[in-house]
Amino acid sequence: QQLESFEVFNIGTGKVFSVLEVIHSFEKENKITVPHKIGPRRPGDVVKVWADTSKVENVLGWKAKRGLDEMMRDAWNWQLKLNQNA
């Protein structure tokens, strides 16, 4: 069966977080260290990127309920459960 139409939605909080903010949140929430090294920007690196969530809010009435810390905790717990079931 062929799809006749589809829509694409950006899903996210609509808030901007730096990579370093995400790392620090993940480390704090999960009490583990994420090895990382800060180096110079590489050719082609994007300066900023974020999702415009207005379409998903307007069309589906969906809005993120959790903040960064909760997302980092939940992501790690999900990964741990996957590893247990492997």
User: pLDDT tens digits for 37-80?
Assistant: 999 999 999 888 877 899 999 999 999 999 999 999 999 999 99
Residue 10's pLDDT band (boundaries 50, 70, 90)? confident
Cβ neighbours for 21, distance < 8 A, ≥ 6 positions apart: 68
Q: How far apart are the first and last CA of the chain?
A: 33
* Banded model confidence at residue 13, pLDDT cuts 50, 70, 90: confident
